[in-house]
Amino acid sequence: MVISSQTMDQGLIERPYEPDRDGSSPNRNLAPLTTSLDGEDRLRIGGCRLSELAATYGTPLYVLDEATLRSTCRAYRQALERHYPGPSLPIYASKANSSLAITALVASEGLGLDAVSAGELLTALAGGMPPERIVLHGNNKSAEELALAVERGVTVVLDNWRDIELLSELAPGFLQPVRLMLRFTPGIECHTHEYIRTGHLDSKFGFDPDQLEAVLVHLAACPWGRLTGLHAHIGSQIFELQPHRDLAGVMADALQLARSLGHPVSDLNVGGGLGIRYVVNDDPPSIEAWVAAVAAAVVAACQDRGLELPRLLCEPGRSLVATAGVTLYRIGSRKQIPGIRTYLSVDGGMSDNPRPITYQSLYTAVLADRPAAEASETVTVAGKHCESGDVLLRDVQLPPASEGDVLAVFATGAYNASMASTYNRLPRPAAVLVHEGVADLVQRREQPEELLRYDVLPARLSPVP
Ligand SMILES: *Cc1c(COP(=O)(O)O)cnc(C)c1O
Per-residue pLDDT tens over the stretch 386-425: 999 999 999 999 999 999 999 999 999 999 999 999 999 9
User: Which range among 12-21, 53-62, 148-157 shows the weakest confidence by mean pLDDT?
Assistant: 12-21
- Band (11; pLDDT cuts 50, 70, 90): confident
Q: Which atom belonging to ligand 1 lies closest to the Cα atom of 231?
A: 13
Expressed as residue numbers, the domain containing 369 is: 8-65+325-451
Separation CA 370–CA 334 (nearest Å): 18
Number of domains in the chain: 2
pLDDT digit string, tens, across residues 331-344: 999 999 999 999 99
* Whether pLDDT at 8 is above 70: no
Residue to mutate (ligand 1; options 197, 287, 315, 319; most atoms within 8 A of CB): 315
Is residue 1 in a domain? no
Residue 197 Cβ inside 6 Å of ligand 1? The answer reads no
Say if residue 78 is in the same domain as residue 173: yes
317 CA: nearest ligand 1 atom: 8
pLDDT at 426: 98
170 & 40 share domain:
no
Please, what is the average pLDDT of the chain?
94
Q: Specify the pLDDT at position 15.
A: 83
Interatomic CA distance for residues 413 and 427, integer angstroms: 18
pLDDT of residue 194: 62
Regarding whether 367 and 273 lie in a shared domain, the answer is no
Q: How many residues does the chain have?
A: 465
Does the residue 151 lie in any domain?
yes
329, 424: one domain: yes
Q: Are 414 and 323 in contact (CB under 8 A)?
A: no
Give the percent of the chain with pLDDT over 90: 89
Q: Let me know if residue 78 belongs to a domain.
A: yes
> Does residue 342 sit within a domain?
yes
pTM greater than 0.85 (yes/no): yes
- pLDDT at residue 20 greater than cutoff 80: no
Mean pLDDT of 129-137: 98
